[in-house]
Structure 1
């Protein structure tokens, strides 16, 4: 659901970029320097990465969990609904789906348990007191709309939280930083196909008093078929500033969403 009210909302968004080639360069340099200093033979980059892998050389055993829809054997097990990326294994610019972290508040919705995420029954409602023409869109409708492709970093706001615990002396008491112990695994780079908001807004039309857009999940609830409590507001001004860069993701490198969790 997308609701566009005339009341204002605030949004705090953090973005980051990671240069995988630069990171691998420093891993190789660190290994080479260590070998030289201790009289140990220098390691090639491939040998260094092999020694940094885990679980059978980075090809971890299968691990399935009812809270997720993919094999999480290559991820670090944080808790029942969150899995971190094994960042020491990252060796590509685009993060493979099996290594992409999962940040869920609840279990990933499954079509066999909740028909609202079944493509046959999924619906997107766009409405609000600042919308001229409220509409309902099916998944097939969305796939037929003009789309664009973008490579974009997705990151949890808590990525690197363990650095605060260990480096900033915030492990307990009033200074403790609460949340998942991501390490540096709460980040991934993906290539997305999406329908730009410029097209969506042209369909519905905006009234002059439009102030904010609320992207509401509709399906992220404590149990299947329960009402969602998950949404994210965004000022209309921010969307209109980049209407072709912001949109509704429909595929991740040929994999139709939702398949990350």
Structure 2
């Protein structure tokens, strides 16, 4: 979609809800995000982003409550109404354009999935802290990760309503935010049964900050692929060239070719769910954490107590262990007074594991940090 087409689309598809939202943002009458972001639950990164404090979550409860789910926005949250919203399915690779209201969308056969979302920059802070490499962007640690139960219509069913022409190869969800954020998907990924246009999150309507009225959920891929506030699905024979796949969510750096590789699948990761650094009374303690993989369920979490040199302990997995969602783990520890680091390393059911720090590739934007992270704790 070229710039002039996008401006026309935003003007036509957004309706009064989008115009009102833009007007409110311009006047400064509303805050840039909607839900409360108390310091006890979130670390703020600028005006539009909030990292979940993982220590605020309940061990064993895999699904992240909406009020604690991280926020990663490219701008202010648009205030859209269901009544004024439409989904336009169009492009040179559809047989017939389709326009759906919100009421029509929610009556279509739906699917409910439990999957995680994670920002591509989750772990960016560790490039500097562990490798001495100053990457561009907000210094997320581990909290740009959350699991939700999503309900929506598979993209395959929506595309079937429009009919696909021979040569259809790309599907680009386009958002109704101020810049019309868009990110194309290969048709094969869009047609997977768990790639959905979600309109419910954890049993209720999508919160505004998380994409109301509807957002794409693309399991296993970077969060930037799960476009929020979707107003259109553009189907094409050629890959659309937009900032999200040419400039923003690509791997830049000395080790990467030009044009740069486009980010798609996430990486397997784990985290200790404690403040950074941790502070605990000495003695027998239970340490909790999370582990997740874009490829399947977690098989085990190995733990090092010497800074990641030797992984001699195996944590116990607790609660649900769901593919492309994650699991909680716990470790019983007898800790004397002093300093200690706890380094988890996840292994999934297919044998994928976190690479050693020596194999973590650098990139200018600090994407896809996957190495095990020593979490510092002082026992007193």
| CA displacement at 1:220 relative to structure 2 | 1.2
Separation (CA, whole Å) in 1 of partners of 2:63 and 2:188: 31
CA contact 1:97–1:260 (8 Å) conserved in 2: no
Which of 51, 59, 70 lines up with 1:101 in the alignment?
70
Q: How many residues align?
A: 178
Separation (CA, whole Å) in 2 of partners of 1:258 and 1:86: 19
RMSD between superposed Cα atoms in Å: 1.6
Which of 84, 96, 115 lines up with 1:133 in the alignment?
96
The residue correspondences of 1:94-243 to structure 2 (distance < 5 A) are 94-110=63-79, 117-170=80-133, 176-217=134-175, 219-221=176-178, 228-240=179-191, 242=192
Q: Structure 1 residue 245 and structure 2 residue 194: aligned? A: yes
* 1:209-230 CA-partner distances (Å, limit 9, x unpaired): 111011111x211xxxxxx331
Q: Which residue of 2 aligns with 1:68?
A: 33
Q: Which residue of 2 aligns with 1:256?
A: 205
Separation (CA, whole Å) in 1 of partners of 2:125 and 2:52: 14
| CA displacement at 1:88 relative to structure 2 | 2.2
Separation (CA, whole Å) in 2 of partners of 1:79 and 1:237: 35
Q: Which residue of 2 aligns with 1:87?
A: 54
CA contact 1:106–1:220 (8 Å) conserved in 2: yes
* Unaligned residue ranges in structure 2 (runs of 5+): 2-29, 211-380
* TM-score, scaled relative to structure 2: 0.45
CA contact 1:100–1:260 (8 Å) conserved in 2: no
Identify the range of structure 1 (141-150 vs 88-97) with the bigger mean alpha-carbon deviation. Answer: 88-97
* TM-score, scaled relative to structure 1: 0.65
SS in structure 2 of the partner of residue 229 of structure 1:
coil
* 1:150-178 CA-partner distances (Å, limit 9, x unpaired): 000000000011111100111xxxxx211
Greater relative contact order (Cα 8 A, min sep 6): structure 1 or 2?
A: 1
SS in structure 1 of the partner of residue 46 of structure 2:
coil
CA contact 2:78–2:208 (8 Å) conserved in 1: no
Which of 20, 28, 44 lines up with 1:77 in the alignment?
44
* Unaligned residue ranges in structure 1 (runs of 5+): 2-64, 111-116, 171-175, 222-227
Separation (CA, whole Å) in 2 of partners of 1:105 and 1:154: 16
| CA displacement at 1:122 relative to structure 2 | 0.5
| CA displacement at 1:90 relative to structure 2 | 2.4
Separation (CA, whole Å) in 2 of partners of 1:211 and 1:168: 39
Between structures 1 and 2, the one with greater helix share: 1
Separation (CA, whole Å) in 2 of partners of 1:125 and 1:82: 28
SS in structure 2 of the partner of residue 231 of structure 1:
coil
CA contact 1:122–1:139 (8 Å) conserved in 2: yes
Separation (CA, whole Å) in 2 of partners of 1:209 and 1:201: 14
Q: Which residue of 2 aligns with 1:173?
A: none
CA contact 2:50–2:72 (8 Å) conserved in 1: yes
CA contact 1:76–1:85 (8 Å) conserved in 2: yes
CA contact 1:160–1:183 (8 Å) conserved in 2: yes
